[in-house]
């Protein structure tokens, strides 16, 4: 049972810190994007880049060996869900659509890939 707790802790820690990164980076990016590119498409693109970078980086840093891909994928999916819930609470409503399913898949895949890269880098 201790192995499951450790795996869950690694995934949850990576997801929570990733969401904190999302909030800070999105707030900072919103200032610059709104000032220089007022189109909504630019805001959406910047948000996707921030989410993809966070979904890759935080599992890479916080997930260790032992089913790393699955722990990283779980962290990526959990981070996407937590971010959606948090931004819905801040923005005032849920907007679930097919794009969110794509976001879950992409964040899961990037989280798994980031965890594998992190394990590989720590071994060398």
Does 96 or 114 have the greater pLDDT score?
114
What does the pLDDT look like over 79-110, one tens digit per residue?
Answer: 999 988 888 888 766 777 788 889 999 999 99
This prediction has a pTM of: 0.86
CA distance 17 to 1: 24
List the Cα angle 115/64/109 in 5-degree steps: 20
């Amino acid at each position: 049972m201790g192995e499951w707790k450790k795996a869950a802790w690694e995934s949850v820690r990576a997801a929570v810190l990733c969401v904190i990164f999302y909030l800070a980076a999105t707030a900072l990016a919103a200032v610059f994007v709104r000032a220089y590119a007022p189109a909504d498409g630019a805001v959406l693109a910047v948000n996707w880049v921030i989410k993809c970078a966070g979904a890759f980086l935080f599992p890479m840093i916080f997930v260790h060996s032992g089913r790393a891909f699955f722990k990283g994928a779980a962290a990526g999916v959990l981070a996407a869900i937590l971010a959606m819930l948090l931004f819905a609470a801040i923005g005032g409503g849920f907007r679930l659509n097919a794009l969110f399913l794509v976001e879950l898949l992409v964040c899961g895949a990037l989280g798994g890939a980031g965890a594998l890269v992190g394990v590989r880098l720590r071994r060398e």
